[in-house]
Amino acid sequence: MKIARFSHDDTIAFGIVDEEEHELVVLKADPMFAGYEPTGERVKLTDAKLLAPVIPRSKVVAVGKNYRDHAEEMGGEAPAEPLLFLKPNTSVVGPGDAIVLPRQSERVEHEGELAVVIGRIARNVSEDDAEDYIFGYTIANDVTARDLQQRDGQWARAKGFDSFCPLGPVMETHVDFETATIETRVNGETKQSGRLSDMVHSVASIIAYASSVFTLLPGDVILTGTPAGVGPIVDGDTVEVDITGLGTLSNPVRSAA
């Protein structure tokens, strides 16, 4: 099932995507907290603006070097344990919103990723139980100021600028990890391509590991790593990240005003 957060007639709402009718079945409230009770209203997808499907109330947890080919292109091996870092929730934007290139950086790069949305308070969760804490999945772009990442020696500034975490276009409650692929394109040219099954650390192991460090709250988002092929984006580019069954997250790139 696909869930959208959208704006229509100056109102922000949630809806279930009816793909056959190309409509949104409007829900009474955020389904993460209020369930899937419809209002009886339907909105055409063409009349709605899709927003980031979730705004993390607490944090975005990300995992570095979780595909071996990406670890190799960055000059190292995949870590034996998940390599965690945080992005502020102010970095989140939605589909169609601009990735704004900061003046402080001369090299900003794309990183297409699968994102996991946490649906329940999670602390010291086991791998076997991890799926019970997942509300859904969406697509992310872990935008990175690569020169600042290398200069700083830690990643908070390089990963944390406003607009550096596009999410969308919708949230899906199920992903087939055995068959799903991920692809990132810049101006229509494929830059990254991989399979979700190539992750070094599974979603369940990441949730178990992260929840042993800090409590995960409903609405928290986990970015699960990117395959090889990261590269620069510049003013005027359009970045698209596609994951099987989740759709395509598309964002233009703009220089800071």
Domain CATH for 235: 3.90.850.10
Quick one: pLDDT at residue 70?
Answer: 86
Quick one: pLDDT at residue 152?
Answer: 96
Q: Could you say which residues of the chain have pLDDT below 70?
A: none
Residue 55 lies in a domain: no
How far does the chain reach from its first CA to its final CA, in angstroms?
39
Domain total for the chain? 2
Domain check: are 112 and 223 in the same one?
yes
CA 15 – CA 10 distance, rounded (Å): 15
Per-residue pLDDT of 196-241, as tens digits, reads: 999 999 999 999 999 999 999 999 999 999 999 999 999 999 999 9
Domain check: are 7 and 29 in the same one?
yes
CA 241 to chain centre: 10
* Identity of the residue numbered 65: K
Quick one: pLDDT at residue 64?
Answer: 92
Quick one: pLDDT at residue 73?
Answer: 83
Coil vs helix vs strand at 36:
coil
Residue 172 lies in a domain: yes
CA 12 – CA 15 distance, rounded (Å): 10
Domain check: are 91 and 112 in the same one?
yes
Pair type for strands 247-255 and 238-243: antiparallel
Q: What is the mean pLDDT of the chain?
A: 96
Domain check: are 130 and 247 in the same one?
yes
Quick one: pLDDT at residue 78?
Answer: 80
pTM for this entry: 0.97
Domain check: are 80 and 115 in the same one?
yes
Domain check: are 128 and 234 in the same one?
yes
Residue 88 lies in a domain: yes
Residue 199 lies in a domain: yes
Q: Residue 23 is part of which domain span?
A: 2-50
Quick one: pLDDT at residue 68?
Answer: 83
Domain check: are 231 and 158 in the same one?
yes
Domain check: are 12 and 102 in the same one?
no
